[in-house]
Amino acid sequence: MEMDKTINYIKKSVRLSFSIYGAKDSLNISRDVIRILGFPKFVSIRIKDRNHFAVVPSDVKEQMSFSVPKNLFTTKSGQFRITSKGFVTTILARNNLDKNVTYIVKGTYSEKENVVFFNMENHRIVIDGKTVKETK
């Protein structure tokens, strides 16, 4: 019974998210995404269509993959920030979103595929650290 409480707490506290900072041409992959994918050495971002993309783990360097920062879990301030003007501009333009705004997109984990999927239709708009609008 105690184990069930622990598992439920873990499921409720996991935040699978992907932040897009349009004004800074960068994005941030949450620690929980890396954790649930099994602490891979690399991840790649794969665009499925206009609204959907996925973060996929890899233990080897591949084309369009990014190295997971070594300090991501060893320091409190560790972040997985990627600067990519092309990707940020493309994903925001495809979804008719404002480049000067920060968006946080919730992810869904597929245990079968060991991939975290993201849908740009399900996002929050954050300005000055406060959510001002949430979709779906």
What DSSP line would sit under 22-78, residue for residue? GGGTEEEE-HHHHHHTT--SEEEEEE-SSSEEEEEEESS--TTEEEPPTTTTTSTT-
**Total number of domains constituting the chain:** 1
For β-strands 81-83 and 26-29, DSSP reports them as antiparallel
* Within a domain: 62: yes
* Within a domain: 66: yes
Q: Containing domain of residue 71, as a range?
A: 13-134
Q: What is the pTM of this model?
A: 0.82
* Within a domain: 7: no
* Within a domain: 3: no
Please tell me the distance from the alpha carbon of residue 125 to that of residue 7, in angstroms, as a whole number: 30
Tens-digit pLDDT string for the chain (136 aa): 444 443 444 445 678 999 999 999 999 999 999 999 999 999 999 988 888 999 999 988 887 799 999 999 988 888 999 999 998 998 899 899 999 999 999 999 999 999 999 999 888 888 777 777 777 6
* Within a domain: 8: no
* Within a domain: 6: no
* Within a domain: 1: no
